[in-house]
Chain A
Amino acid sequence: DAKTTQPPSMDCAEGRAANLPCNHSTISGNEYVYWYRQIHSQGPQYIIHGLKNNETNEMASLIITEDRKSSTLILPHATLRDTAVYYCIVRVPGGTGANNLFFGTGTRLTVIP
Chain B
Amino acid sequence: DAGVIQSPRHEVTEMGQEVTLRCKPISGHNSLFWYRQTMMRGLELLIYFNNNVPIDDSGMPEDRFSAKMPNASFSTLKIQPSEPRDSAVYFCASVVAGGTDTQYFGPGTRLTVL
Task: Provide the bound-state CA to CA distance between A98 and B107, in Å.
Answer: 21
Q: For this complex, into which size category does the number of interface residues on chain A fall?
A: 20 to 34
Binds B, one of A12-20, A39-47, A71-79: A39-47
Q: Chain B 15-58, CB within 8 Å of chain A: the 1/0 string?
A: 00000000000000000010000000011010010000001101
Contact A44 B58 (CB under 8 A): no
Task: Provide the bound-state CA to CA distance between A106 and B39, in Å.
Answer: 12
Contact B101 A43 (CB under 8 A): no
Task: Provide the bound-state CA to CA distance between A101 and B48, in Å.
Answer: 10
Task: Provide the bound-state CA to CA distance between A36 and B45, in Å.
Answer: 15
Contact A98 B42 (CB under 8 A): no
B-chain residues with CB within 8 Å of residue A45 when the two chains form the complex: 105
Q: Is the interface of A mostly helix, strand, loop or mixed?
A: loop
Contact B56 A44 (CB under 8 A): no
B-chain residues with CB within 8 Å of residue A38 when the two chains form the complex: 43
Which residue of B is nearest A38, CB measured? B43
| CB-CB under 8 A for A103 and B43, given A44-B91, A97-B56, A98-B56 | yes
* 28 A–B pairs (Cβ distance < 8 Å), ordered by A: A32-B101, A34-B102, A38-B43, A41-B108, A42-B107, A42-B108, A43-B4, A43-B91, A43-B105, A43-B106, A43-B107, A43-B108, A44-B43, A44-B91, A44-B93, A44-B103, A44-B105, A45-B105, A46-B102, A46-B103, A46-B104, A49-B100, A87-B43, A91-B101, A93-B101, A98-B58, A98-B59, A102-B45
